[in-house]
Amino acid sequence: MNVADCLFCKIVAKELGSEIVMETDNVLAFRDINPGAPTHVLVIPKEHIASAQELGSEHGTLLAEMFGVMADVAAGAGLDGGHRLVTNVGPDAGQSVHHLHFHVLGGRAMSWPPG
Ligand code: AMP
């Protein structure tokens, strides 16, 4: 897909509104528009990466920054009972936005396996 048409690139560029929770040099965290749990935050790289399938060793520093943001989001939301981190990759997993994102979900008990 064309990066210019990427929904999350537009959120990064602030061309599209979002409820931002946290922002670092390379990472943005904002609330999911259709929350699946009391806390549902998406954590994305500002750089366009289509999915986790595109990640390589060159993204190690970026991934550390993303996981740091995820931990801060969970702590900031008071998710003391735990939380779930999810990234969907491709059609079978139901990936609907082709810009890497981790879902940070919490605030309720969750079942396993997911649907
Ligand atoms: P996935 O299905 O794993 O690709 O996740 C994409 C997520 O993006 C879904 O949970 C959507 O609810 C969410 N989403 C789509 N558009 C927006 C938007 N404009 N602002 C915030 N979240 C969005």
SS3 73: helix
% of the chain at pLDDT higher than 90: 96
- Note the pLDDT of residue 3: 79
Structure tokens at 104: 């940070």
Q: Which atom of ligand 1 is nearest to the CA of 36?
A: 10
pLDDT of 1-12, one tens digit each? 667 799 999 999
pLDDT of 19-63, one tens digit each? 999 999 999 999 999 999 999 999 999 999 999 999 999 999 999
* Residues involved in catalysis: 101
pLDDT(104) > 90: yes
For ligand 1, pick from 1, 12, 18, 33 the residue to mutate: most ligand atoms within 8 Å of CB. Answer: 33
Which residues have C-beta within 8 Å of that of residue 81, sequence separation ≥ 6? Answer: 106, 109
* Averaged pLDDT score across all residues of the chain: 97
Q: Of all protein residues, whose CA lies closest to atom 17 belonging to ligand 1?
A: 33
- Note the pLDDT of residue 1: 63
Is the shortest distance between the CB of 50 and ligand 1 below 6 Å?
no
Give the CA radius of gyration of the chain. Answer: 14
- Note the pLDDT of residue 115: 86
Q: Of all protein residues, whose CA lies closest to atom 19 belonging to ligand 1?
A: 33
**Pairing state of beta strands 102-106 and 39-45?**
antiparallel
Is the shortest distance between the CB of 88 and ligand 1 below 6 Å?
yes
Q: Tell if the pTM clears 0.85, that is, is over it.
A: yes
pLDDT(71) > 90: yes
Q: Of all protein residues, whose CA lies closest to atom 13 belonging to ligand 1?
A: 32
Mean pLDDT for 86-111 is: 98
Distance from Cα 5 to the centre of ligand 1, integer Å: 15
What is the Cα–Cα distance from 109 to 41, expressed in whole angstroms? 16
100, 87 Cβ separation under 8 angstroms: yes
